[in-house]
Structure 1
């Protein structure tokens, strides 16, 4: 019997709808990337408003998929899944035509609607562990549309998440939304249904919200017109996707209970895997539902590598990495917020960045920022442990900062644990994992499709040397009234004497 050539080996397509671009990957079961494509996106910002053109999403999906499939035989393509930005929504008519721009994930025009939502749904939001909705979530924006664009709500009008819009174009008809994308629209992830009484109290009309399915559920197949636009073969299954944050987690390949992924880009985002839904009295951790029924808790801090691009513009960051090694630890302790306000591991709208002490030169100032982000990351894990989350499993580092070997080593030292660096860490890979997992064990599929680039162990002599700096930051955050005392006390208890 003749085995198929490597060129004809089965591939799954993952499509990532990012803020700046659409990215598509064609990936084999063994994790080999057979094709990749991308296409830029543009947006419009005006104060609290951030919008994109949904038709531009579809144009970019077509261009990215055609590029990714250029050298892939049609017969090799098995399925496609799409991830999108969390909380991005629009209204469409019955045919799927957009009636509004895409109101993006960080659009906060609906801040005035949040209090009413939190009163109406207090019991549901508490049961779901996150306690309250936030101004940038999707349900407040839906109420804003009901108040300001009531003229659009005729028969057949539907709310669509970013992934829904693209999946409807792929299949040629209305589709269910995935639970992951629907979390910030108020979906009850325990009941796996909409909280209809709450939505009725808020005035959301029947029929506006799509049906719900778990990520990984088949939604339909690629239509003939979509095949012509994207290069995807007609008839290929379209699998329910997820948010880009969840896709990043799937793309790490580590999906057993207790595993965590720390994404350090402009800001810091942690996501993990638990058996049980976490209850967070501060409301800073919220949990998605995994396709296999596990929970995916996480939170997003306002600290991150964006502080480097802001404070060291145009500098040689690799050279600064080398110079920073002379300051382990730095005598100065930094809390390097990218923007005002903190979201995780505590909520403080008035929080702002600061530095304790006076750095002697740019190298120490740079070192203080690197270490400060590591301290916040450590505090996030201490807080998760306080909530009862298992935090001692595999830890992967992804995001742009994972390209810095020095910063990865420093974070391993500060955390006192090994860290794993995946070979290809991006949401499109996670979407491809989701496409391949329909009807199969998600963790097994992910482990096979994700390759490890390196594992970084903490240096035995380095972990405790950062304890004093960490505790100085914890104490200052508590003194300023931002970090609750029980959280600070727990962090001190978890730091060896």
Structure 2
């Protein structure tokens, strides 16, 4: 048996698979996000441990016998979070999360140093880890002086599980401290943020052993002591392992809280000017690129909250028959945007509202706006040297056939829907736990699921969506000018 632990923004999920990779069971426990100021987004790291205990405990109640046969654990987690740890191994302050934009000034300062783009292959985005530490240095100097280690969220869970500060390449690529081509920390980049290598965790590949389960914790949780914990992956790379998106040119579109257009690469292809992320993959000798939208289903969730409607019902009310875009348009920049704008201060907007604009019109505008943002990422990937032939849809938004019809038509690409099953980050983490425990071939383990259905671009409405996309593209500079 192999356990995947996925630390998400809203919950911790524990998923158990057997040696055939069949899912045996899963459980989850919720988390909350604190937003004490505009642009801030934080979580208490101790809440991750509490939620993980709960999720494993629930799994033990239903599958205790299977858990007693556990042979490996894999970890996945939301990326970029700055978890500052003191000498006693305790958090100094709440973790500053991936969608926190307070450090935009520090990000711009670091990005002005050409070493950062040259060595990391990426823009220094405000959501990345390094500028958050620069913000701490400027705004919380006492806390900054106490920093013994800086850990990513899933690696704080690892510290609890095994007592060691260890990370891996995919998650560390999003810190702005990793030389992504060399797959190692850069002493020069660390020095530029007032840190040194001793304050970083050790690095392993995601499919390698990255610690062993502590005996006392194993006894408490009812798990075998000493079992290996895989290096694991950041959530998107873990999802790619779950989906089998590991070969050159394979891609998925994730309609989750954030939106990700993810392409696997067999070589390092940086192009920071495109605002595409170029990161290490979770498997040795592989990399990947991502276009990132900060508010994908989060945009629909926001609309559902202000209309007191359930998101699933809102998209279900659109049906499954695609219609041409209406007059209402939506910019999904509720928390700023990464690809292609790298703009932490931009905010979302509806345009074209009229007396006839009902809830369905607003929902359709949100669905279309997010799809247009994915098209921005597709263009950025092409600029960075990667052209896609098709994508596989994952994430909560992929349950809406209408949304996928829009996405296929806007991208001009077939969108594949995988067969029914859970192939997300927790499953990918469990796969990495299997590989680390059994020294298995990663490329034999991380295979793709069968395709249940493919949605092709709608030729009847392609021209209308192309025209709407051009109007969408004109809105950002107009709104930006109004806000500046």
Is the 1:25–1:35 contact (alpha carbons within 8 Å) kept by the matching residues of 2? Answer: yes
- Counterpart CA distance in 2 for 1:340 and 1:136 is 11
Measured after TM superposition, the shift of residue 13 of structure 1 is 0.6
* Bigger Cα Rg: 1
Measured after TM superposition, the shift of residue 20 of structure 1 is 1.9
Distance 1:465 1:238, change over 3 A: same
- Counterpart CA distance in 1 for 2:219 and 2:380 is 50
State the superposition RMSD in angstroms.
Answer: 3.0
Specify the alignment match of 1:388 in structure 2.
Answer: 385
Distance 1:350 1:41, change over 3 A: closer
1:434 aligns with 2:432: yes
Is the 1:19–1:41 contact (alpha carbons within 8 Å) kept by the matching residues of 2? Answer: yes
Distance 1:343 1:359, change over 3 A: farther
Secondary structure of 2:41's counterpart equals strand
Secondary structure of 2:231's counterpart equals strand
- Residue deviations 1:160-210 (CA, integer Å, cap 9, x gap): 222222112211x32321122222321112122221123224322452122
Specify the alignment match of 1:73 in structure 2.
Answer: 66
Measured after TM superposition, the shift of residue 458 of structure 1 is 1.5
Specify the alignment match of 1:404 in structure 2.
Answer: 400
Specify the alignment match of 1:5 in structure 2.
Answer: none
- Counterpart CA distance in 2 for 1:63 and 1:213 is 28
Specify the alignment match of 1:470 in structure 2.
Answer: 466
Out of 366, 370, 383, which is 2:367 matched to? Answer: 370
Gaps of 5+ in 1: 1-10, 484-497
Larger deviation: 340-349 or 229-238? Answer: 340-349
Is the 1:267–1:305 contact (alpha carbons within 8 Å) kept by the matching residues of 2? Answer: yes
Measured after TM superposition, the shift of residue 467 of structure 1 is 2.5
Out of 180, 196, 203, which is 2:187 matched to? Answer: 196
Secondary structure of 1:19's counterpart equals coil
| Number of equivalenced pairs | 465
Aligned pairs (5 A) from 1:246-257:
246-257=237-248
Out of 117, 121, 145, which is 1:129 matched to? Answer: 121
Specify the alignment match of 2:482 in structure 1.
Answer: none
Gaps of 5+ in 2: 480-484
1:104 aligns with 2:101: no
1:181 aligns with 2:171: yes
1:346 aligns with 2:346: no
Out of 324, 332, 335, which is 2:327 matched to? Answer: 332
- Counterpart CA distance in 2 for 1:253 and 1:144 is 37
Distance 1:390 1:473, change over 3 A: closer
Is the 1:282–1:346 contact (alpha carbons within 8 Å) kept by the matching residues of 2? Answer: no
Measured after TM superposition, the shift of residue 297 of structure 1 is 0.8
Distance 1:161 1:347, change over 3 A: closer
Is the 1:254–1:443 contact (alpha carbons within 8 Å) kept by the matching residues of 2? Answer: no
TM-score under structure 1 normalisation? 0.84
Specify the alignment match of 2:454 in structure 1.
Answer: 456
Measured after TM superposition, the shift of residue 152 of structure 1 is 5.2
- Residue deviations 1:28-66 (CA, integer Å, cap 9, x gap): 243322121222223432114333222222222222123
- Counterpart CA distance in 2 for 1:152 and 1:479 is 41
Distance 1:148 1:261, change over 3 A: same
1:262 aligns with 2:253: yes
1:158 aligns with 2:156: no
Is the 1:63–1:230 contact (alpha carbons within 8 Å) kept by the matching residues of 2? Answer: no
Distance 1:276 1:143, change over 3 A: same
TM-score under structure 2 normalisation? 0.86
Secondary structure of 1:37's counterpart equals strand
Distance 1:412 1:144, change over 3 A: closer
- Counterpart CA distance in 2 for 1:372 and 1:155 is 43
Is the 1:321–1:407 contact (alpha carbons within 8 Å) kept by the matching residues of 2? Answer: no
Distance 1:336 1:101, change over 3 A: closer
Distance 1:469 1:359, change over 3 A: farther
- Counterpart CA distance in 1 for 2:295 and 2:144 is 39
Measured after TM superposition, the shift of residue 361 of structure 1 is 5.3
- Residue deviations 1:144-170 (CA, integer Å, cap 9, x gap): 334455545679922222222211221
Measured after TM superposition, the shift of residue 400 of structure 1 is 1.1
- Counterpart CA distance in 2 for 1:107 and 1:476 is 25
- Residue deviations 1:118-155 (CA, integer Å, cap 9, x gap): 234x224234322x312221111222334455545679
